[in-house]
Amino acid sequence: MGIFITVLVVLAIIIIPNIKIVPQAHEYVVEFLGKYKATWSAGIHVKIPFLERISKRITLKEQVLDSPPQPVITKDNVTMQIDTVIYYAIYDAKLYAYGAVNPISALSNLAATTLRNIVGELELDGTLTSRDTINGKMTSILDEATDKWGIKVSRVELKNIIPPAEIQNAMEKQMKAERDRRETMLQAEGHKAAAITRAEGDKQAMILAAEGERDARIARAEGEAKAIYLSKKAEADGLAALKEAGVDAAVLELKKYEALVAMSDGKAAKIIVPTDAVEMTKSNVVFSETTGLGDKTDPDRTPPVSQKKPDPCCE
């Protein structure tokens, strides 16, 4: 009985340490007498004592490699400091264990050299404005190069781009000059818009004034035309009335004579009478003497006889 218990204790001491539990998202690389045997995934496993050993414990979670700043020279010979952040995950534990001596160090050095090659083809301005392009190229190159190491590079980001101090000062001055230029352009555009608006306003005012003057002239011309029309219409109506009343030529001649008398009613009036007017006057005189028209003297009234005043000197 004691021997059986002793055997059980010995077996427990030997077997229990060789029972291994692999956590989730981890893999163990197992070797048998120094040679690769298997890759244990998550779960419980038992290895053969003294013959098998776990050579690598590998996590399959995504990891981050923060590379230190690297000096990089651009195409226009500007040296700047750039540090990168690499997101990667191990997808094959066997390749990761036997592909490279130190895969993470190899990945860091490969990222530095790749960054120098890519930035060396760009100028300073292109480097500062082409982060996405650099990130995409580095991701593609590193992912392809690390496939034989069992590493999957999912993303590469440029963390910081630090140009030299003099370049930073020049960039700040350039930025200030650009802002001043934009401000000047905005002010000039504002003045231009204001001038255009004022010119449009003056143009509209002149157009409205011209239209008003035109309408006023049209109204005055229409008024004058209407007045002339009414005057002529009145004359025509008067002539028509005389014609309807049966006025003969003698009456018309008399009217002409009365108009001539009205014209000569003035202290300093001089009238040159044409021949036909003289004949008309003679005819009117004869007509007046015959008919008695135009005689302003009352026939029944005799003119008063002036009395002779006595001469005082003779009496």
pTM over 0.85: no
Over residues 124-135, mean pLDDT: 85
**For residue 258, what pLDDT is reported?**
65
**Range with the lowest mean pLDDT among 147-151, 156-160, 266-270, 290-294?**
290-294
**Residue 243: left if φ>0, alpha if ψ -120 to 50, beta else—which one?**
alpha
Region of poorest pLDDT, from 65-69, 129-133, 138-142, 297-301: 297-301
Q: Each residue of 85-129: pLDDT tens digit? A: 999 999 999 899 988 889 999 999 999 999 999 988 888 888 888
